[in-house]
Structure 1
Amino acid sequence: MPTTSSHYHQLQPEDRVTIASLRQQNHSVRAIARQLHRSPVTISRELERNASSSGYGSAHAQCQPLQTDLPQAAQSRAGAGAVAGLSDLQRHLY
């Protein structure tokens, strides 16, 4: 029996431009999601995460670093000093 596997694909810069453009034209989250073949939740989270006082901006969204924290297990294994010495890529992989 085949298993279904969901794969996460990050939004690309052109997706963010489309989101910004459609949002500026007052398209709904669901309409944007349909056009990009994404879940409405993905679009909603993108808009929420990258909102500024002037609204959603694709350039602002693209420049934002990925905000991830190290899992608690990785922090306790490595200790505070070792975690501080990790590169950005290593932090992302934890």
Structure 2
Amino acid sequence: MSGVVKSNLAPLRYCDDSNNVTEVYPFNPNGSPLGIAALCSPDGRHLAMMPHPERSFMMWQYPWYPKEWQVEKSGPSPWLRMFQNAREWCS
């Protein structure tokens, strides 16, 4: 597994509130080794991931966020940026 991380084939990893990679629930809901949340192919064309960002791309769907965030519940969540980046990469 550490070879996957060293080869940059784990583009998403579960982190705790201090941005440390974790295997601990609830930050890592399935306890995946090394906090790996997604795997990609060496050329970056294929991505397999465990989290479901499509379920919370709008703030009203977002389960939790810090109180200091000034957000509009009808606006996009931070997860939307992932989809925008993928679209740009494919264009």
- Tell me which structure has the larger Cα radius of gyration: 1
Q: Which has the higher contact order (CA 8 A, sep 6+)?
A: 1
Whose helix fraction is larger, Structure 1's or Structure 2's?
1
- The normalised TM-score by structure 2 is 0.23
